[in-house]
Chain A
Amino acid sequence: MRNWGQSLAIIGLTGAGLTLWLGFMWAPSVSIDAFKAPEAQRIFYWHVPSAWAAMISFTTLFIGSVVWFFKRSEWAWRMHVASTEAGLATGMMAVWSGCIWGAAEWGVPWDWTDVRLNTFAILTLLSLYLVLGRKSQPDGIETRDTFSAFGMYGFILVPVTYIATRLWQIRHPGPVVATSEGSLNSDMGIVLLVGGISFSILVIGHIISGMRLTKLQMQFEELQAKYEGAVK
């Protein structure tokens, strides 16, 4: 597992760079009649993959939380920790880019009545809470159980977020892929696919790196205790 995570993250970053280049240089422009801000539509080539990567993170957060809670497995706790950081980073990217696109296209960065926007924001805030909360609490079984419970119950919002635009399309656009109503140009679809694959590799690489980081942190603390014991 030593350099796997970092290698995958670098491959993912390269793919994300390629997506950006294709999105700017190769993907066709959208109709100026269909969009108020047609150039800003290109935000979508990183916005959708980063939201997808956040969903992967929230899913691995759920898996890590459940396995820690019921099996007390160290790798599961490491997965929980790494997934909260990955979910926060990718969730923030999706929220940021969505707000900017909303400001350009809708004239407002946020709509408090839109289910998709709000459930996704709550998931990102949950990651923020878990990252900050863990840093302010001493590590222990009770702390891990508390944060794992949040990781488990928070996952309820993942399927709700996924189906939100299918059930209640208020402001956020509906699905453009994996649907019979899909209206995405095939070249745009290819760029989006490259982005989706790249961000998936990136976030998996980051989660593996984050799990290794937590392992190193624990190893360091054990060695430090051993060294201090030897010095005394």
Chain B
Amino acid sequence: MNDVTYLAVAYLGMVAGIAVWTWTVFARSKSLEEKIRSLEKAITNDESE
């Protein structure tokens, strides 16, 4: 491999790593917020019945 290929492989790996890491944190956060909202709604509905 020439050194430009090494450069490309290194950056592709790091870009993929940073993207997966960020996406995972943001997506988990969004998913938990939605779950909390629906649970709060369900609890409020139960209490009012």
Chain A interface residues toward B at CB < 8 A: 6, 9, 13, 16, 20, 37-40, 42-43, 46-47, 50, 85, 89, 92-93, 96-97, 100-101, 103-104, 202, 206, 209-210, 212-213, 216-217, 219-220, 223-224, 226-227, 230-231
C-alpha spacing A101/B28, complex, angstroms? 33
C-alpha spacing A46/B12, complex, angstroms? 12
Main secondary structure of the interface of B (DSSP, over half): helix
Nearest to B25 among chain A residues (CB) is A209
Tell whether, in the assembled complex, residue A89 and residue B17 are in contact, meaning their CB atoms are under 8 Å apart.
Answer: yes
Nearest to A224 among chain B residues (CB) is B39
Chain B interface residues toward A at CB < 8 A: 1-4, 6-7, 9-11, 13-14, 17-18, 21-22, 25-26, 28-29, 32-33, 35-36, 39-40, 42-43, 46-47
Tell whether, in the assembled complex, residue B10 and residue A97 are in contact, meaning their CB atoms are under 8 Å apart.
Answer: yes
User: What is the minimal beta-carbon distance from A170 to any residue of chain B, in angstroms?
Assistant: 21
- Given known contacts A37-B3, A89-B21, A206-B21, A227 and B10 CB-to-CB distance under 8 angstroms: no
